[in-house]
Each structure stands twice: as structure tokens, then as C-alpha cells.
Amino acid sequence: MHEGFHDVAWLARTRAEGDVTAWLERLPYARHIGVSATPDDAGEGEGLIYQLEPHEHNVGNILLPALHGGVVAAFMETAGTLDLMMATREPRLPRIVDFSIDYLRTARVVPTHARCRLLREGRRLANVQVVAWQEAETLPVATARLHFVLATPDEDA
Amino acid sequence: MPNASPPTADEWRTALTRFVTVIPHTRGLGLDVVSVDPPEVIMRLPWQDALLGDVERGLVHGGVLTMLLDTVCGSAVLCGLPEPEVCPTLDLRVDHYRPAVAGMAILAEARVVRVTASMVFTEGTLWQTPGRTIARGIGNFVRLGARNTPPGFGEALFGDADHA
């Protein structure tokens, strides 16, 4: 089998290496909007911080100007999914069930960051919280909440 | 459009086409307005590989669906108000019923359910095959009111093609 999310060995290896970049390379829409991930050097743990590039094609309001709220949502969904894949006890492939986002401030056309928290990992379901900010983490532009069904890589048909 | 008869369905279609064409993200993806019957809007996102989230299985990125619901619900808001106002999204909830698959356009329908002095409540639906819903969305939008809407916002939307 070729390398990819459905290749159990590849998924386990990239996960052990913390290679979120290899995962992002296989997500065309996440690449289109410009999502990347970097280790949280300043933080205590070994978490990741996700970035969204302020591409011109991510703009949703040219008058303000501001990023497209839906693009910010897609960024946060991507971050939540990848972070969950890294955080689960075993390699799992999450499938999104529902997604909810609250917009707190206008997202300007500057780099946007996100941090995720796995609030609950059950046998079948997971709940992930995502916070996105721009200038300062204490001034979030949006918070999101995601529910996922967790499949094992070989059983998710 | 003060002092004029309400815009026709065709005029609304032209106006909302202008709206999604001015938005860089949706212009880049080639989003098309199929029809407008205020306060209901139907749009069509043509297929392209950039929409993929799972290349091996050929499935659409969930974020594409959220983006599309935000856009189509936000467009419905414009035609659901007495006068177009700037209305940012307050919150959006998306339920994923089944995956969207590669190679097919995604259709999006949204309508305004209720307008109050401060809010516009909307709901939207996505599908590729009629009757088989991919995702449902509920979006609430804040009315900033005429005072915070830039002068000429409505006129720019309908713009006089001759003077544009």
C-alpha cells in the first residue's frame, strides 16, 4: 500500500515522529489556505501551535479587510483533527461528526494561530476544543468545538 | 434600494453573484449563484482537486463545507433584510451527515428563518445528489444596523452596471 492516512504503518510512523507536516502535505484544501504546524517552544508541554497564512485568497471581506470566517473555521477544523490524531492513545483516524464555532473578534489579514485541547477521548468519540488568535493568545478571534468518531486505520470504511 | 420596487429574483442573483465574486476566497474557488428567491439562496461550488481532504478515499475536506455554509448563509442574510446590512457571523454549527465525494459539484441552499432587531437566524443544507444531504448548518448573524453599514453598501451590491 502506498503511503497515506490509510496505511497503518505510515500513520504509526509519522505519528511517532510527530510529523504533522507529512499529514498536511496530504490535505489539499489545508494546503490551499496555507496551514502549518510548529512545536510550542515557549509552552510547557509538547503541544503544537498551528498557523494560517494570511493569503490574499483567504480574504472574505475586502472593506475591512478581514479573513473569510469560513476559512478560519476550516483552519481550526484542520488543527483540531491533526492535533487529535497526535493526541489519541493509539493511532486513530478521526471522522468529523459536528463542528461549532463562535466568532469573537474580526480576523485581520495577518497570521492566525491556533492551539487545541483534547477534552475527552472515549472508545468511539472524541471532543476537541480549538482556540484561534492573532496578536495575542489572550485575545482570541474564535473558539471552536469538534466531535469526532474515532476509527482504527484499517476499519474505517 | 430606497424609493424603488423590491429587486427581482434576477436582480438578486446578479447582486449576490457580485457579492461572492468580490470575496477573494469564493472568487478563487469559482462559486456560482444558481438562484435567489428571497430569503432563500442556492449556490454551486464546482469541483476542483483543491477541495480534497482525503486524497486516497477521494473525500472533500470538512472545512470546505463549513466555509460554503458560512458563505451561503451569509448571502441569504443580505436578501432577507429590508435593506442590505453588514452582518458578521456570530456563530455557526455544522452537522456532517455523510462525506462529500471528489469529482462532483457541491450545491448549497440557505434561507433566513427569523429576523429580529439585533439578529438574523439562518439555516443551510449541502448536497451533491438531490435528497442526500451532506451537511446541515445553522448560522446566526449580528445586525450592525444601517448606522454601521458603509454608505452605498446596498447600491454597490446592486450597482448600476452602466455606472459601475
Please answer whether residues B73 and B6 qualify as being in contact, where contact means their C-beta atoms are separated by less than 8 angstroms: no
Percent of chain B, pLDDT > 90? Answer: 78
Looking at residues A33-51, what average pLDDT do you find? 85
Secondary-structure percent of chain B, ordered helix, strand, coil, rounded to 5:
30, 35, 35
Question: Which is the CATH superfamily of the domain at A8-151?
Answer: Hotdog Thioesterase (3.10.129.10)
Residue B71 with chain A: CB contacts under 8 Å: 68, 70
Q: Give dist(CA A101, CA A79) in Å, integer.
A: 13
Mean pLDDT throughout B56-85? 94
Asked, for residue B87, whether it belongs to a domain, the answer is yes
| Inter-chain residue contact B63 with A68, CB threshold 8 Å | no
∠ CA(B150), CA(B4), CA(B22), 5° rounding? 40
> Is position B3 within any domain?
no
Task: Identify the closest residue of chain B to A66 by CA–CA distance.
Answer: B23
Q: Quick check: is B124 in a domain?
A: yes
- Give the CATH number for residue B79: 3.10.129.10
- Residue B68: list chain A partners with CB under 8 A: 70
Domain range holding B76?
9-158
Check pLDDT > 90 for residue B77: yes
- What value does the mean pLDDT take over residues A29-58? 89
The Cα of B5 is separated from the nearest Cα of chain A by a number of Å equal to: 28
Judging by beta carbons within 10 Å of its beta carbon (0-12, 13-18, 19+), is residue A11 exposed, middle or buried? buried
For the entire predicted model, the pTM comes to: 0.93
Test B68 with A70 for CB contact under 8 angstroms. Answer: yes
If one counts the domains in chain B, the total is: 1
How does B49-79 read in b/e, with b if 16+ C-beta sit within 10 Å?
eebbbbeeeebbbbbbbbbbbbbbbbbbbbb
pLDDT at position B162 is 42
Contact call for residues A68 and B70 (beta carbons, < 8 A): yes
pLDDT band with cut points at 50, 70 and 90 for residue B163: very low
In a domain, B105, yes or no: yes
Q: What is the pLDDT of residues B15-62, one digit of tens each?
A: 999 999 999 999 999 999 999 999 999 999 999 999 999 998 999 999
Query: If you average pLDDT over residues A36-54, what whole number do you get?
Result: 85
Q: Chain B residue with minimal CA distance to A149? A: B96
Q: Is residue B92's pLDDT more than 60?
A: yes
Give dist(CA B151, CA B164) in Å, integer: 16
pLDDT category, B147, cuts 50, 70, 90?
A: confident
Give domain status of residue B1, yes or no.
no
Is residue A25 over pLDDT 50? yes
Element (H, E) at B86: none
Decide if B141 contacts B89 (C-beta within 8 A).
yes
pLDDT at position A46 is: 66
Whether B136 has its CB under 8 Å from any CB of chain A: the answer is no
Question: If phi over 0 gives left and psi between -120 and 50 gives alpha, with beta otherwise, what is residue A105?
Answer: beta
pLDDT category of residue B102 using cuts at 50, 70 and 90: very high
- From A27, A62, A63, residue closest to B24, measured CB to CB: A62
CB contact under 8 A, B67 and A59: no
What band does A117 get if pLDDT is binned at 50, 70 and 90?
Answer: very high
Using an 8 Å CB-CB cutoff, list chain B residues near A28.
Answer: 49-53, 55, 61
Tell me the mean pLDDT in the region B66-80: 96
The whole-number average pLDDT for the span B73-100 is: 95
**Residue B65 placed within a domain:** yes
Is residue B42 included in any domain, yes or no?
yes
Q: Please name the residue that has the C-alpha cell 437566524.
A: B121
Res. B164 pLDDT band, cuts 50 70 90: very low
